[in-house]
């Protein structure tokens, strides 16, 4: 297949409109449309819904993944010949923010020594990173899904333990005269709209009754999320590696665990394209070397 045609397909989806995609490729809008139409004629199916933003059709989703894989291999081949983006190959990875903030440092330290790779990380909740791998947006992902995406391999990394933690004064504000905690009113803090960990814990605590739906705040920053919980904005699930000293032992002056909400053990997996590049192989080796620290985060 013509790589220019494949690049047009990817650009249309990434940029949302034909005009923006054409500008990114530095060609005219007419030339861009012709490339997309030529690819559609070749495969005999419509690949893009001409909406705003542009959306791939079911056939387009399958072709999009092939296009990204083909272009990644082409980029690496060109880089090995001293061409392309300064001779560097882009490696696109989806990772949950807590992993990036805790055990991923050794990977970044190792990648800093590579002069032929640009690492492009996209943060997403671990429940949704596999979707980015499935549609070809990334070549690898840290995910909680052990089932390999089609065309990928899956390797377990280890388990991160999360603890329900809250400011002591906020807990006292939401206890009745008998000391019982009102989970339906106790505010929570979510990392983002798709952060389902706190909701999962609340469903478990409901024990088959109607799920609790307390007020919830959104704080989409790992460090600010921790600070929001410390300041009493709401309770949150914090990985062991991020817990301030003394919280679990009951010695912290402001924070304490919430026993009725408990802990969650999240097993993470590294999923990557099976037909990857040498750069992806090298990144995978670095991730697997760093993986023992994932287990450390559960201690």
Per-residue pLDDT reduced to its tens digit, 138-171: 899 999 999 999 889 999 999 999 999 999 999 9
Domains of the chain, by residue range, sit at 160-265
Can you read off the two tokens belonging to residue 18? 């034909």
- 3-class DSSP state of 14: helix
- 3-class DSSP state of 23: helix
Look at residue 297 in the predicted model and tell me its pLDDT: 56
Q: What is the pLDDT of residues 18-38, one digit of tens each?
A: 999 999 999 999 999 999 999
Q: Can you tell me the distance from the alpha carbon of 269 to that of 144, in angstroms, rounded to the nearest whole number? A: 6
**112, 131, 98, 199: CA torsion to nearest 10:** 170
Question: What would the DSSP string read from start to end of 122-183?
Answer: EE--TTTHHHHHHTTS-SEEEES--SPPTTEEEEEEEEEEEEEEEEHHHHHHTB-TT--B-T
Q: Residue 88: is its pLDDT beyond 80?
A: no
In whole angstroms, how far apart are CA 91 and each of 68, 255, 279, 282, 286?
11, 40, 7, 11, 13
Q: What is the pLDDT of residues 24-74, one digit of tens each?
A: 999 999 999 999 999 999 999 999 999 999 999 999 988 988 888 888 778
Average predicted confidence (pLDDT) for the chain: 91
Q: Residue 296: is its pLDDT beyond 80?
A: no
Q: Residue 262: is its pLDDT beyond 70?
A: yes
Look at residue 298 in the predicted model and tell me its pLDDT: 59
Look at residue 195 in the predicted model and tell me its pLDDT: 87
Which phi-psi region, left, alpha or beta, contains residue 207 (left: φ > 0; alpha: ψ -120 to 50)? left
Q: Can you tell me the distance from the alpha carbon of 145 to that of 67, in angstroms, rounded to the nearest whole number? A: 24
pTM of the model: 0.80
CATH hierarchy code of domain 160-265: 3.40.190.10
Q: Residue 131: is its pLDDT beyond 90?
A: no
- Our CA angle for 20, 47, 136, nearest 5°, is 75
């Amino acid at each position: 297949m013509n790589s220019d045609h494949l690049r047009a397909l990817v650009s249309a989806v990434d940029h949302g409109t034909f005009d923006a995609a054409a500008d990114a490729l530095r060609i005219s809008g007419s030339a861009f449309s012709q490339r997309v139409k030529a690819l559609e004629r070749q495969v005999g199916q419509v690949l893009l819904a001409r909406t705003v933003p542009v959306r791939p059709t079911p056939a387009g989703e399958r072709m999009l993944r092939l296009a990204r894989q083909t272009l990644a291999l082409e980029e690496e081949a060109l880089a090995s010949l001293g061409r392309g983006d300064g001779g560097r190959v882009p490696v696109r990875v989806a990772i949950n923010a807590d992993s990036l903030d805790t055990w991923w440092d050794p990977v970044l330290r190792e990648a800093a020594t590579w002069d032929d790779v640009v690492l492009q990380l996209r943060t997403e909740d671990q429940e949704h990173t596999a979707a980015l791998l499935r549609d070809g947006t990334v070549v690898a992902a840290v995910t909680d899904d052990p089932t390999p995406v089609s065309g990928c391999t899956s390797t377990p990394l280890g388990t991160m333990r999360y603890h329900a933690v809250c400011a002591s004064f906020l807990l006292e504000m939401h206890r009745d005269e008998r000391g019982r905690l009102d989970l339906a009113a106790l505010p929570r803090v979510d990392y983002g709209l798709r952060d389902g960990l706190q909701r999962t814990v609340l469903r478990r605590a409901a024990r088959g009754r109607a799920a609790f739906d307390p007020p919830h705040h959104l704080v989409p920053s790992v460090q600010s999320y921790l600070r929001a919980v410390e300041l009493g904005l709401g309770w949150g699930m914090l990985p062991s590696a991020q817990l301030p000293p003394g919280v679990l032992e009951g010695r912290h002056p402001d924070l304490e665990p919430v026993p009725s909400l408990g802990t969650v053990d999240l097993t993470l997996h590294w999923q990557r394209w099976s037909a990857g590049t040498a750069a992806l192989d090298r990144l995978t080796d670095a991730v697997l070397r760093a993986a023992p620290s994932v287990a450390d985060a559960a201690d």
